[in-house]
Amino acid sequence: MPLLDRHGAKAEIWTRSESAAIDNLSHALVDWAALPEALAQKTRDQRIGVVIPNTVRIPELKLLMRQLSLIAISFPSFGDGRGFSLARLIRNHGFTGTLRASGPLIVDQFAYAIACGFDEVELPEASAARQPVEQWTRALGQISHGYQRGYGDSGNILDRRRSARLKHAAAS
């Protein structure tokens, strides 16, 4: 399925494995249910990613996170925003690997996804066919600065006002 990040279309390096059988895949992407078994088989050089439903609780995931290189959070529909909060929680709990939003997102959610800690979006063919990649990259710049602090946007309005104040105070 088509994959993209903030720079545009991206090649898929992960191979989906239906079961826990990860054989000699270098980048194996397994389902949540198969994860414990897959991790048990993992060799030193193998990279494991997991596809999780948006109902997974942090305590269930937290102890496994360090062994994962990618977490793909499923979006069953674009209107179901649980994935945004789950991404934030996963980042807040220290996950530094790749975070992927997987599902029928729309262009207008791309900036939100990035702000919540996602690196990339994996779309169903039909969504991608209607919404070309250039719409996604263009959408990222539509709102220059948001009002929320702590959402990876160093240019957020509150911090910008703060630096303007400090600059002003230093000058006077």
Partner 1 sequence: MYRYDEFDERFVRERVAQFRDQVGRRLDGSLTEDEFKPLRLKNGVYLQLHAYMLRIAVPYGTLSSRQMRQLALIGERYDRGYGHFTTRTNLQFNWPKLRDIPDILDLLADVEMHAIQTSGNCIRNVTADHFAGVAQDEIEDPRPTAELIRQWSSLHPEFDYLPRKFKIAVTGAAHDRAVIKAHDIGLRILRHPDTREIGYEVIVGGGLGRTPMIGKVVREFLPKADLLAYLEAIMRVYNLEGRRDNKYKARVKILVHEIGTEEFSRRVEEEFARLDGPSVNADPAEVARIAAYFAPPAYDALPATSGAFEAAKAGNPDFARWVETNVTPHRQPGYAALTISLKPIGAPPGDATSEQMRLVADLADEFSLSEIRVTHAQNLVLPQVKQADLFAVWRRLGEADLATANVGLITDIIACPGLDYCALATARSIPIAQALAQRFADAGRQKEIGVLNIKISGCINACGHHHVGHIGILGLEKRGIESYQITLGGDATENAAIGEILGPGLAAEDVPDAIERIVSVYLAQRQTGESFIDNVRRIGLAPFKAAFQEVSHAVA
Nearest to 122 by CA among 142, 138, 101, 93: 101
- Can residue 82 be called a binding residue for partner 1 (CB under 8 A)? yes
Structure token digits, residue 76: 């069953």
For partner 1, the binding residue among 60, 92, 124, 140 (CB under 8 A) is 92
- Can residue 59 be called a binding residue for partner 1 (CB under 8 A)? no
Stretch of residues binding partner 1 (CB under 8 A), selected from 35-43, 45-53, 63-71, 104-112: 104-112
Structure token digits, residue 118: 């996602």
- Can residue 16 be called a binding residue for partner 1 (CB under 8 A)? no
For partner 1, the binding residue among 70, 109, 121, 123 (CB under 8 A) is 109
For partner 1, the binding residue among 31, 88, 119, 133 (CB under 8 A) is 88
Dist CA 122 CA 40 (whole Å): 27
Phi, then psi, of 130 in degrees rounded to 5: -80, -35
Dist CA 41 CA 38 (whole Å): 5
Count of alpha carbons within 13 Å of 4, Cβ hemisphere only?
28
Dist CA 119 CA 90 (whole Å): 13
Stretch of residues binding partner 1 (CB under 8 A), selected from 17-25, 38-46, 65-73, 149-157: 149-157
- Can residue 134 be called a binding residue for partner 1 (CB under 8 A)? no
| Residues making contact with partner 1 (CB under 8 A) | 78-82, 84-86, 88-89, 92, 106-109, 111-113, 115-116, 130-132, 135, 142-151, 157-158, 160-162, 165
